[in-house]
Amino acid sequence: MKLTNWRQLSDQGDDLVLCLDFPGGRAAAGFAELVPGVPVDASFLHIGQAGAGPLAVCVDRWVAEVAATGRPVLAVLGFCAGTTLATRVADAIAAAGPPTVVLFDAVSTTGDALAGAFTWALESSAKHLTADELTDARGLSEQLVATYPDDLPRIAAPLADRYDRLMRAVADRLSLPGFLLKELTGGFTAYLEYLLLAGEGGFDMRTTTPLFLNSLGYEPPVEGARTITLDISHDDLLREPEVHKLVADLLTGKHPW
């Protein structure tokens, strides 16, 4: 199966399971940890680098590639910010039969989330930045969120620009090669683009009712949602055998849906 927008996590059956989550590395387990523990006759696909929006255009592109395979979609899974993308993909696919939709630790993307991503990204280079640079950067993120609380693009653009300037300073101080600087800035830009797309999505669905599967301390972002909450940390949610079995039972119909 040759794919452009998706990457294959497994190939164990004709049915497809689509996974929506940022493809970059982080502390929390991702779908790559989930899939090996879910013994179902299905092939799992993970979204690649999403790129810039608008979301409707991206969803059309992602779904068109899936449809071109000619294979039925059994389920759509989303994790964290990717849950608001999973709902949109599932709705777009539903004409061929509504898939099962499971949303893990669903969250809405906010200005605070963008600011948090910016601060987190700077932490890895903090020892190479001055105290004034870090203070000014944090102040910028706080000011942007306070000034444009509901305008995510107006928050993201200055944060991307400031991150680029700071990483160029780090590259000069450490004599880093150009390709490494490009990786640093490109990775952060890709993450911001992903969060902006997620900010265009939502949890309202036209075609089916999703199941919210939560780790300890997480609450579904909508009232009256179908919810399962487990005594598992957020970082470990997708790597726990208990979750693997639950997902397998949901996909095979062994668990009441």
pLDDT at 88: 97
CATH code assigned to 6-108+202-252: 3.40.50.1820
Q: Which of 20-24, 50-54, 68-72, 204-208 has the lowest mean pLDDT?
A: 50-54
Confidence band of 68 (pLDDT split at 50, 70, 90): very high
pLDDT at 58: 96
**Residue 97, by phi and psi: left (phi above 0), alpha (psi -120 to 50) or beta?**
left
Q: Determine the 3-state secondary structure of 237 from DSSP.
A: helix
Q: Residue 54, preceding bond cis, omega within 30 degrees? A: yes
- Tell me how far apart the alpha carbons of residues 74 and 71 are, in angstroms, rounded to a whole number: 9
Q: Which of 55-59, 95-99, 170-174, 195-199 has the lowest mean pLDDT?
A: 95-99
Q: Determine the 3-state secondary structure of 84 from DSSP.
A: helix
Across residues 217-238, what is the average pLDDT? 93
pLDDT at 224: 87
Identify whether the C-beta of residue 194 lies closer than 8 Å to the C-beta of residue 152.
Answer: no
**pLDDT tens across 146-168, in order?**
999 989 999 999 999 999 999 99
What are the angstrom distances between the C-alpha of 103 and each of 79, 178, 212, 246? 6, 39, 5, 13
What are the residue ranges spanned by the domains of the chain?
Answer: 6-108+202-252, 111-199
Confidence band of 49 (pLDDT split at 50, 70, 90): confident
pLDDT at 23: 85
Highest mean predicted confidence (pLDDT) among 125-129, 155-159, 182-186 = 155-159
pLDDT at 247: 96
Amino acid residing at 204 = D
pLDDT at 183: 85
Going by their DSSP bridges, the two strands 42-47 and 15-20 should be labelled as parallel
Going by their DSSP bridges, the two strands 211-214 and 100-104 should be labelled as parallel
pLDDT at 32: 94
Instruction: Provide the CB-side half-sphere exposure for 45 (13 A, CA).
Output: 30
pLDDT at 177: 87
Q: Determine the 3-state secondary structure of 106 from DSSP.
A: coil
Residue 112's contacts (CB-CB under 8 Å, 6 or more residues apart) are 145
Amino acid residing at 187 = G
